Structure 1
Amino acid sequence: MNHGQPNPFITIENIQRSISEWSNKSSLLTKSQQGVINQEPRPGWQPPNPQPPPPPPFVKVNVDGAWDEESHHSGVGIIIRNHRGHSIAGASIHGSHNSAIEVEAEAVVKGLQLAAHMNLQKIIVEGDCNEVLTALNNSSCHPNWRISPSIDKISHLKTLFVGINWNWIPREANRVADVAAKLAKLRLRSHKWANRPPTSIVSILRSDDGLPGPPCS
């Protein structure tokens, strides 16, 4: 379309990557949808809180972690959206940790690092790990010793922002970050994106959030 010479090898590689992403996504969705009959509708993404929604430049940083007890492989998922709900950045980061709680805390660290790299000033961090969010919301709380190093990193990273709030949300409202984390754990590699997330993430942005998804990578 741009009058360039097509490269069949790159095209085949892109097709194979998309098939792999769709296969992983289908497996994850099949497991998560078991037994959902007669349950309440799943809550979608909501614009930044508190009420009324804050004006720009506030953005929402959703984070989540996934961990395999046998292999200790872990994944961190991050999705950053502006006040209109548009995806502006994200990441699916592979790693290795000794516990699930450590991965959840590391997800917050990585989310703050990505937001700082983008020079964002006012953010709302959301996650579904109550233990980590409680430690961040309550300075008098003594966190689990496993996450103390991450809490120290977060305390330093907080100084890079003009305003920052912490919100706990149920897992059902954190679907995109959840799937991004699981994909990183399964695929054993990391993937960061600006406004072009992988195909599997775009489909969830469209179907679960009910928002227009950005173009695929």
Structure 2
Amino acid sequence: MSLIVKICGLSSRETLDDAIDAGADMVGLVFFGRSPRFVRMEDAAALADHARGRAEIVALTVDLDDSEISAIVERVRPDWLQLHGAEPVGRVAAIRKRFPQKVMKALGIRSPDDLAAVDDYASVADCILLDAKPPAGSDRPGGNGASFDWTMLEGFRPRVDWMLSGGLDPDNVGEALRISHAPGVDVSSGVESAPGRKDADRIRAFIAAARNADSVSAATRKAS
């Protein structure tokens, strides 16, 4: 299975095209008002229509209620709902049961103990996104440019699909993949020139570096 690459926090047609043309498998739209990457509903719907059929569309939400999620589902029609808040297992299960979209649950990681939660969510989510816990004082659960110690993922083989996020950029994504063997990577701030401002060159460089690392890993496995 080839590496899945997700570019999150896109907010313009131009950068959406940059990501998809460079080979992104997933594109993320942020529905969290305190994020510099927040997109209004009408803009998100237009962006989703522009991307539909070219990449999977992910709607990032944070602790929304059913009526708020319903509005996103009806207007934007994403392929995925990314739950990036403090949603407990039961809430994730309820969302997955009510809505037709696949569900991605983000979990904050700082120490090996945090990985224990993966098993709790494995049966109620279609994919787990391992992100760094936000630094002290942050008012955002993700997109902070922080990373965690990837070496704790050596030998990590959960019973659910998963992706790696948190502090990734074009310079370190290859090393992150070499250490973690993650089947997917997700980036937002690491491909920006300023908070909320995606950079086409950094998007292309990130995807190229990730694909190259995946190819090297595949060749190594085949040779062994």
**TM-score under structure 2 normalisation?**
0.30
Q: Which has the higher contact order (CA 8 A, sep 6+)?
A: 1
Which protein has the larger Cα radius of gyration, Structure 1 or Structure 2? 1
